[in-house]
Chain A
Amino acid sequence: MSGKRPTEVISPRLERVVGVVLRAGVIASSVCLAVGLVLSLATEGGAVAAWLLNIGILVLLATPVARVVVSTVEYINERDWRFAALTGIVLLELIASAMAALVFNRKL
């Protein structure tokens, strides 16, 4: 920690970046899901529809992960090591979930 502790608790840049990531993720996943749904109802479950639906769900799941990644990077840029470490731990926990998912997937 540097000597001058920030009096302002809010980091406007971080808030802006997080807002952009979340919005982009929501729009991208909603478009994939909506198009995938229309296609899957119209074509009775084509391969493209299934692919779009899966991409939509994966983008949805990836959005909060991306938000944690950009927060970690931003805290490192600000040399706020405490919060860089905390967001890094959250990222590890999300990776642990993905690992558990892979384990369950292979087993069954």
Chain B
Amino acid sequence: MPALSVTLALIIFAAGTIAGSLGALLGLGGGVFLVPFLNLVMGFPFTVAAAISLTTVIATSSTVSAGRAGKQLINMRLGMLLEVATAAGSFLGGVTAQFVSQSVLQRLFGIVAVVVALIMLSRLRRRNVILDPNADPGLLGGRYHEEESGCTVTYRVKRLPLAVGASFIAGNVSSLLGIGGGIIKVPVLNAWCGIPLRAAAATSAFMIGVTATAGAIIYYGRGQLEPALAGVACLGVQLGSWGGMKFGAAASSKWLKILMAGVLFIVSAMMFMRGGR
């Protein structure tokens, strides 16, 4: 493990800031950019990179959810139900990561990066599901006030087993690869389970703190979580996601998505090249 120097601290802080702001602009965590940077560019072992990234996921989740709590956008009941699945997946992923080789993890990351890029490209035009505001949201549904349209949005949860399954996979991938996993859950919750995009994203961001913790604890116990490196990255990511959310509205998210999908294809190719050796 490299000792923390001022230069190293600045590099990781900057990488965290960029990953965090990209994450906020694109509506996903920054981990999908931070892990390949730390592993491929900085040369950290994959598990060390994943552990650092997981702590930034926890920090982002807690910060974002603290700001949103009380605004009814987070569906806490649904979140806590799905956390049963994400935490189980994450626990298994964290244990599995200790027994597979770095090249397997790199190739797996390569596959997930392509999936993330394709999901991003397929969702250039976002769509919200809006039900009759007086409808009964049921046990797991939700209701929130949308500021832009001035409407109250009510929704029911459909196809719960699918949401649970997607959450398990997201949790598993999260702690294996050090990403938040929102990119897997949010499209499923939005497209098939009847949950409006903003509620799905807020609920997912709420859940990934617990998900990432289940994995990060294992990395910490194994001595793969270096507090100084993780600390710098966390502070950078928090600054970046704060900036991304504050100034994000001005950016054109369509072109940014296309650009970042391109970056992810390159990341994927690099992961396969390294992992294939």
Contacts and interface: CB of A to CB of B under 8 A. Distances in A.
Contacts of A100: 91, 94-95, 217-218, 221
A7 B137 CA distance: 8
Contact of A94 (B75, B143, B217): B217
A101 B221 contact: yes
B210 A101 contact: no
Contact of A33 (B75, B140, B210, B231): B231
A71 B83 CA distance: 12
Given A11-B76, A100-B94, A53 B70 contact: no
Contacts of A103: 221
Contacts of B90: 97
A77 to B, nearest CB: 15
A1 to B, nearest CB: 10
Interface string B131-144: 00000111111110
Interface string B245-262: 000000000000000000
A26 B66 contact: yes
A33 B91 contact: no
Contacts of A67: 62, 209-210
Interface stretch (B3-11, B38-46, B103-111): B3-11
Interface string B1-28: 0011110010000000000000000000
A86 B84 CA distance: 7
Contacts of B84: 86, 89-90, 93
Interface residues of A, number: 53
B220 A57 contact: yes
B63 A64 contact: no
A71 B65 CA distance: 14
A101 B220 contact: yes
B87 A56 contact: no
B231 A53 contact: yes
Contacts of A89: 84
B69 A15 contact: yes
A18 B4 CA distance: 34
Contacts of B223: 105, 108
Nearest to B216: A61
Interface stretch (B117-125, B179-187, B188-196, B232-240): B232-240
Contact of A57 (B215, B222, B225): B225
Contacts of A64: 58, 61-62, 209-210, 212-213
Interface string A78-108: 0000010011011001101110111111001
Nearest to A34: B235
B88 interface: yes
B214 interface: yes
Contacts of B129: none
B152 interface: no
Contact of B72 (A15, A29, A60): A15
A58 B238 CA distance: 17
6 contacts: A19-B70, A26-B62, A50-B227, A64-B62, A100-B217, A100-B221
Interface of A: 7, 9-12, 14-16, 18-19, 22-23, 25-26, 29-30, 33-34, 36-37, 40-41, 45, 50, 53-54, 56-57, 60-61, 63-65, 67-68, 71, 83, 86-87, 89-90, 93-94, 96-98, 100-105, 108
Closest 3 pairs between A and B when the two form their complex, measured CB to CB: A101-B221, A19-B69, A33-B231
